[in-house]
A and B are shown apart, each in its own frame.
Chain A
Amino acid sequence: MTSGRLLVPVSESVALRNTVAYAVRHVVESKAAEGAVHFVYPYSPQMVTGMDTSGVDELLERVEVWADDDLGDDAGAVDVQTAVIGAGEYLFSPGDYADVLAEYGEREDLETVVLDPEFSPSGTTPLLPPLEAELERAGFEVLEAPVERPTRRARLVRGGNVGQFLLVAALSFGFYLLIGGSLSTFDLVTGGLSGVIVATVLWRVCFSGPVRPGRLLKRIGRMSVYTFYLVWEIVIANLQIAYVVLHPRLPIDPKMVEFDAAVWSEIPVTTLANSITLTPGTLTVDVDSQSFTVHSLTAGARDDLFSGGLERAVRFVFYGRAAARIPSPRERGEEGSDDGGAES
């Protein structure tokens, strides 16, 4: 599906550097036999009165240098070309641009167009959506270079019900009184007001689903068991780290490891990630849905991580006892992937 032959229309834009990097990465990753990137500047003398072509050449030169930079060792495998197209034609509507691009693309046998999100050769006119449509009609696959690292996040504000509102209000009220440490009328009134304000603002943010008191209590119970287990782990691991740090020869062997954890959904993953970080010797660097990147200080810490004690405990908290019996990362064969390093 991913093509190794790209057509990238360029113009002066703030996202240009990013777009070049994206296009080059796309070609390299497609591993096509005849990878090619053509950067073209749709240029129309009528459009820009009194403009000098040296600006265009300079831009294309810059793009070429960037592309070579990004290619690095793959420079031989990918054919990078630059061109000015549309000279002598009247480019005005998105259709005009699509026509010259399509003509060039067909001549050079390119199948995919990568669009710079800020691409606007004609100044301020919003060109992108119609251009995208026109190019797709001409039979090209159109990709838009992402503006930045793509992030996926669930919606923060969710639906809620009265139960959630009351629970948040009651918890805030209780916390207020606990910190204040008095039950005078003044504190009761201000506490009640604060509770209502907090609940009004946050009641739709605090919970990831409807409150089921029974399940909640069970989880809180298991969570307290887990806390004791975690504290114990923290103490043991801290002693190990203290030994390593104070040892005259500093016997560390740091390494990035990656593994897929057998926990699902936001809160359990967050809990596990934070627990891994809390346990000395391991530090969660990145989490992408279930895939953890963990920096480990010593081989012993790695061992503990892959024997999966923490993971199992987190599953126990959130899914009950049965889920604790899922095999550890080592048994699942996740251990082999420890040469991940820190890419990108």
Chain B
Amino acid sequence: MVTITEGAVVALLAGGVFFGLVAAVGLLRLPDLYTRTHAASKTDTLGAGLTLAAVAVVYDAGLPTVKAGLLLVFLLITNPTAAHAIARAAADQGIEPWTAEDGGDEQ
């Protein structure tokens, strides 16, 4: 018998795994640094966020829930900052972004 809590935890974890997977697939399939940064930084944020939400649900209303919430906040602040740092460093190096016109031979 699956309780509501267990169901919620499973659903959240499944979502977290799904978006983590999407991030990995995006990292492999996308053509250049900028687009890959998109995949690596953000789909990941939601994936990690859902996983943390699952943790919070498991511990109900205890202290670990608060900590999970704090972790989520830090993730939301640091993840885009890191992505921005990478993209900006790339732009400073003069790396041109890939555009649809460059492609076409994408296999």
Show the binding face of A for B, using Cβ within 8 Å: 149, 178-179, 181, 230-231, 234-235, 237-238, 241-242, 245-246, 250, 252-256, 273-275, 277-281, 283-286, 293, 295, 297, 341-342, 344
A342 B96 Cβ-Cβ under 8 A: yes
B80 A242 Cβ-Cβ under 8 A: no
Q: Can you report 13 residue pairs joining A to B where beta carbons are below 8 Å apart?
A: A179-B67, A238-B43, A241-B42, A241-B43, A254-B98, A278-B79, A280-B38, A283-B37, A284-B80, A293-B91, A295-B35, A297-B35, A342-B94
Whole-angstrom CA separation of A181 from B30 in the bound complex: 44
Known A-B contacts A242-B19, A284-B87, A285-B87; the reply to A255 vs B99 at CB < 8 A is yes
Top 10 nearest A-B pairs by Cβ distance?
A277-B80, A245-B26, A280-B42, A274-B80, A242-B22, A238-B46, A285-B87, A295-B34, A181-B63, A253-B100
A252 B19 Cβ-Cβ under 8 A: no
Whole-angstrom CA separation of A237 from B19 in the bound complex: 12
Cβ distance B20 to chain A, nearest Cβ, rounded Å: 11
- Which residues on the A side are within 8 Å of B70 (C-beta)? 178
Show the binding face of B for A, using Cβ within 8 Å: 18-19, 22, 25-26, 29-32, 34-35, 37-39, 41-43, 45-46, 49, 63, 66-67, 70, 76-77, 79-81, 83-84, 87-88, 90-92, 94-100, 106
The dominant DSSP class at the B interface is: helix
* CB-nearest residue of chain B to A231: B49
Whole-angstrom CA separation of A234 from B90 in the bound complex: 24
- Which residues on the B side are within 8 Å of A279 (C-beta)? 42
- Which residues on the B side are within 8 Å of A281 (C-beta)? 38
- Which residues on the A side are within 8 Å of B88 (C-beta)? 285-286
Known A-B contacts A241-B26, A286-B88, A342-B95; the reply to A234 vs B45 at CB < 8 A is yes
A278 B80 Cβ-Cβ under 8 A: yes
Cβ distance B45 to chain A, nearest Cβ, rounded Å: 6
